Amino acid sequence: MIDSDYTADSKSDGAISSRKGSSFNRKRSCRFCVNKEVLIDYKEPQILKYFITDRGKILPRRISGNCSKHQRKLALAIKRARMIALMPFVVIGH
């Protein structure tokens, strides 16, 4: 028997939501897997800037929505771009 506070959401593949009014957040798909034309390259900081915070930290996989393979390539590309001064290591206040 299921407790009245916990309901199974049919769209979430059996996941149980903790509250009746909570919304289901769809899993983000990896933009590099979806769009094969976008390549991860350390020489293109305009693409890499979407994966760092305003303080210069690399966004984790659970927030960016990348798959593990592309997240590793992305982290390596960001680190390489930092080493040749295309991207900042740290953003100093405004």
Domains recognised in the chain with CATH numbers: 27-83 (4.10.640.10)
Encode pLDDT of 5-39 as tens digits.
555 544 545 555 555 666 667 777 899 999 999 99
To the question of pTM greater than 0.75 for the whole model, the response is no
User: Does the pLDDT at position 1 exceed 80?
Assistant: no
Instruction: Name the burial class of residue 15, with classes exposed (0-12), middle (13-18) and buried (19+) by CB atoms within 10 angstroms of its CB.
Output: exposed
Report how far apart, in Å, the C-alpha atoms of 6 and of each of 2, 22, 44 are.
Answer: 7, 11, 47
**Helix, strand, or coil here: 41?**
coil
